[in-house]
Chain A
């Protein structure tokens, strides 16, 4: 017999290295000779979209379009260390470092403009569309390109950002080990075949707090990806670790979801800007996975009345539990 059920799971997740560990990102912003903005940062793109999001942050900070950003990342030869592409930390941590470096560069540009335009103060000066100008008298303006041409040495600023966390007290376990936290809720509907023990997830909905959505399309991709990993985690993926040896070490035994296993996921992006984040943004790479497996297990309970306490809920395990229940 096929039985349907629904389940909900909620989670919160602290991003970054945490526990007082120095979670440092560095970035450099430089006025290139053609008047474009060079961003030099050791952040690594692994498909999560760091390159795109970090360029968007730089473009926003400098008031230019993304085409005017020259982005150099990954190479240790010419970029400062931005830490690992891990712990869901690049958007928040490295995004902040880039924003700070851009703000420093902006200030540097303003001081040069004061000199070149014979102004008497930084008050009322705007930096926008690749030029620096006086807001009350826009004719008094100089382009980034002209500033670059007049430079005798490169205009370049390096800044760093360190996430604020504390080590937990050993005795009491108290402290502020992570910052920021990210919240999410998943709802799923499953269909359980009580004959075979097979569980199919029919549909899913995810509400994910992101602080500020810098790139909604990439966020949606992270949610789909996180859900499919959690789907495998809940129902299929089992390393079968025996005496330190991974037994399921091939795709023939370590089963991950295919396009047929994956449901459509409705996404609700919740924007509640984080004051310490770059334009309010937080990381979501790992958080999007957290609450999905509990939602699936709750839906199984709702469908057939058994509480599964071990994952993955493979057909044989579920059948055994169903038999025990009878």
Chain B
């Protein structure tokens, strides 16, 4: 057992971890951030995607101790108390969510994609979410949503404007 501290969704957190604990377990079991999902547990599906130091990682493939002192964003860090993140709003508006299991990972992959490339083409969007499997939607409405979100973010992030 070892105590580590890290920043999660802008807050200093600390947790007891053991050697073989994955970042996924740290987030879900120790910090109770259950928005991050476990699909395959072997780096294939992207359901466990979180953002670490500005890059997406599969949290099932990162050991908890590797997150020491790192900045992590999970799906819980996207919306504020009374306002969805523009990417989340676009997902709802475009009908991009079916069962929802892949969606936390999709939204976070979309965030990193749009942080790095604010005006992506549809092909670049497909590339950006190609590590996230979705069984339900056939991806097209997710691509629509990310295109729409790019528009919201480029106009100050407010779709109600």
Judged by a CB distance under 8 angstroms, whether A241 is at the interface is: no
Identify which of residues 253-282 in chain A touch chain B, using a CB-to-CB cut-off of 8 Å.
256-260, 262, 264-265
CB distance from A237 to the nearest CB of B (A): 11
Identify which of residues 207-243 in chain A touch chain B, using a CB-to-CB cut-off of 8 Å.
217-218, 220-221, 223-229
Q: Do B140 and A264 have beta carbons less than 8 Å apart?
A: yes
Q: Do B135 and A224 have beta carbons less than 8 Å apart?
A: no
Given contacts A224-B137, A224-B140, A251-B44, whether A260 and B99 have CB atoms under 8 Å apart is no
Q: Which residues of A contact B98 (CB under 8 A)?
A: 47-49, 221, 225
Question: Of the candidates B40, B135, B142, which one forms a contact with A259 in the assembled complex, judged by CB atoms under 8 Å apart?
Answer: B142
Q: Which residues of A contact B84 (CB under 8 A)?
A: none
A229 to B138, CA, bound (A): 8
Judged by a CB distance under 8 angstroms, whether A309 is at the interface is: no
Q: Do B140 and A47 have beta carbons less than 8 Å apart?
A: no
Q: Do A258 and B137 have beta carbons less than 8 Å apart?
A: no
Q: Which residues of A contact B87 (CB under 8 A)?
A: none
Question: Of the candidates A48, A218, A265, which one forms a contact with B138 in the assembled complex, judged by CB atoms under 8 Å apart?
Answer: A265
Question: Of the candidates A46, A47, A49, A220, which one forms a contact with B141 in the assembled complex, judged by CB atoms under 8 Å apart?
Answer: A220
CB distance from A46 to the nearest CB of B (A): 6
Q: Do B97 and A250 have beta carbons less than 8 Å apart?
A: no
Q: Which residues of A contact B141 (CB under 8 A)?
A: 220-221, 224
Q: Do A226 and B138 have beta carbons less than 8 Å apart?
A: yes
Q: Do A224 and B99 have beta carbons less than 8 Å apart?
A: no
Q: Do A260 and B126 have beta carbons less than 8 Å apart?
A: yes
Binary contact readout B26-49 vs A (1 if CB under 8 angstroms, 0 otherwise)? 000000000000011010110000
CB distance from A73 to the nearest CB of B (A): 15
Task: Give the residue name and chain of the A residue nearest to B40 (CB).
Answer: A251
Q: Do B140 and A265 have beta carbons less than 8 Å apart?
A: yes
Q: Which residues of A contact B129 (CB under 8 A)?
A: 259
The range of chain B's interface size is 20 to 34
Q: Do A251 and B133 have beta carbons less than 8 Å apart?
A: yes
Identify which of residues 100-136 in chain B touch chain A, using a CB-to-CB cut-off of 8 Å.
100, 122, 125-127, 129-136
Q: Which residues of B contact A259 (CB under 8 A)?
A: 125-127, 129-130, 132, 134, 139, 142-143
A170 to B137, CA, bound (A): 40
Binary contact readout B135-154 vs A (1 if CB under 8 angstroms, 0 otherwise)? 11111111100000000000
Q: Which residues of A contact B157 (CB under 8 A)?
A: none
Judged by a CB distance under 8 angstroms, whether B69 is at the interface is: no
Judged by a CB distance under 8 angstroms, whether A174 is at the interface is: no
CB distance from B61 to the nearest CB of A (A): 13
Q: Do B135 and A229 have beta carbons less than 8 Å apart?
A: yes
The range of chain A's interface size is 20 to 34
Given contacts A218-B95, A260-B130, whether A225 and B42 have CB atoms under 8 Å apart is no
A228 to B126, CA, bound (A): 14
CB distance from B94 to the nearest CB of A (A): 8
Judged by a CB distance under 8 angstroms, whether A252 is at the interface is: yes
A160 to B94, CA, bound (A): 34
Q: Which residues of B contact A47 (CB under 8 A)?
A: 97-100, 136
Determine which residue in B95, B122, B141 has the highest number of CB atoms from chain A within 10 A of its CB, and name it. Answer: B95
Q: Do A225 and B133 have beta carbons less than 8 Å apart?
A: no
Q: Do B139 and A46 have beta carbons less than 8 Å apart?
A: no
Q: Do B126 and A250 have beta carbons less than 8 Å apart?
A: no
Q: Do B95 and A252 have beta carbons less than 8 Å apart?
A: no
Q: Do A260 and B127 have beta carbons less than 8 Å apart?
A: yes
Q: Do A258 and B133 have beta carbons less than 8 Å apart?
A: yes
Q: Do A217 and B139 have beta carbons less than 8 Å apart?
A: no
Q: Which residues of B contact A257 (CB under 8 A)?
A: 138-139
Q: Show 27 A/B contacts (Cβ-Cβ < 8 Å), sorted by A.
A: A47-B98, A47-B99, A49-B98, A217-B94, A217-B95, A218-B95, A221-B95, A224-B138, A225-B137, A225-B138, A228-B137, A228-B139, A229-B138, A250-B42, A251-B39, A251-B40, A252-B44, A256-B133, A257-B139, A258-B131, A258-B133, A258-B139, A259-B132, A260-B127, A264-B140, A265-B138, A265-B140
Q: Residues on A close to B: CB < 8 A? A: 46-49, 217-218, 220-221, 223-229, 250-252, 256-260, 262, 264-265
14 extra interchain contacts, Cβ-Cβ under 8 A, other than A229-B135, A259-B130? A46-B99, A217-B94, A220-B95, A220-B141, A221-B136, A228-B137, A228-B139, A250-B40, A251-B45, A257-B138, A257-B139, A259-B125, A260-B126, A262-B138
